[in-house]
Amino acid sequence: MRLRFLCPHHRSLIETDPSRARSSWELSHSKALEFRQRGATEQSIAAAGCALEAAEALLVLHGCRSEQDLRCFTDSAVLLRQTLPALRQAGLVRGLLAGCHARLEALMADGADKRLVLECCQRLSLADAQGTNSMVLETLGTTVH
C-alpha cells in the first residue's frame, strides 16, 4: 500500500509479532471511531490509517488465510475511505481504493477464500459508491462565485 501512517520502527514491530499487530489494530481502529465521533477528522484519519497498516501486517503474518484478518483489513479500509474525503483530496481516496483492491486481488491469487475476498471487495466498492454520492451532494450544495 502506498499510504503510510506508521513510523518505520512501529511498522517493523507489528510486521514481526502477530499479537502486537492485533493489539495495534484494535487500539487504532477504536481510536479512529472515537475521533470520528468527536469530529476530530485528522486524528481519525491517522488512527484509521494505522489500523489499516496493522490489518495488512496481520494478513501477511497469517498467510492471508484468516477470515478475521480479512474483515479487519476491510473494516479499516472502509473506515479510512469514509473519513478521507474531509481532506478534499480525491487522489488520496483513489490511491487508497486502488491499493486495497490490489491487495485483495493478490490475496485471492494466493489462495484466500474467493467468496470472502469478493465480499470484502464488494464492501469496499459499496463504501466508495456511498462516499462518491455524498461528495457529489456536498458539491451540489455549495455556491460557486
CB neighbour list of residue 12: distance below 8 Å, 6 or more residues apart: none
Which range of residues forms the domain containing residue 71?
8-140
Residues 117/107, Cβ–Cβ less than 8 Å: yes
Residues 114-135 have a mean pLDDT of 77
Domain-embedded: residue 92: yes
Domain-embedded: residue 1: no
Q: Which residue has the higher pLDDT, 144 or 7?
A: 7
Domain-embedded: residue 3: no
How high is the pLDDT of residue 2? 58
145 — pLDDT class (breaks 50, 70, 90): very low
How high is the pLDDT of residue 140? 36
Residue recorded with cell 481516496:
93
CB neighbour list of residue 54: distance below 8 Å, 6 or more residues apart: 6, 14, 21, 22, 24, 25, 28, 72, 76
Domain-embedded: residue 145: no
Structural domains in the chain (count): 1
Question: Structure pTM?
Answer: 0.81
Per-residue pLDDT for 119 more than 70? Answer: yes
Expressed in angstroms, the distance from the first to the final Cα of the chain is 38
Domain-embedded: residue 118: yes
Domain-embedded: residue 2: no
Angstrom distance (rounded) from CA 9 to CA 22? 16
Q: Which residue has the higher pLDDT, 88 or 122?
A: 122
Residues 77-96 have a mean pLDDT of 84
Domain-embedded: residue 116: yes
Angstrom distance (rounded) from CA 119 to CA 41? 28
How high is the pLDDT of residue 65? 67
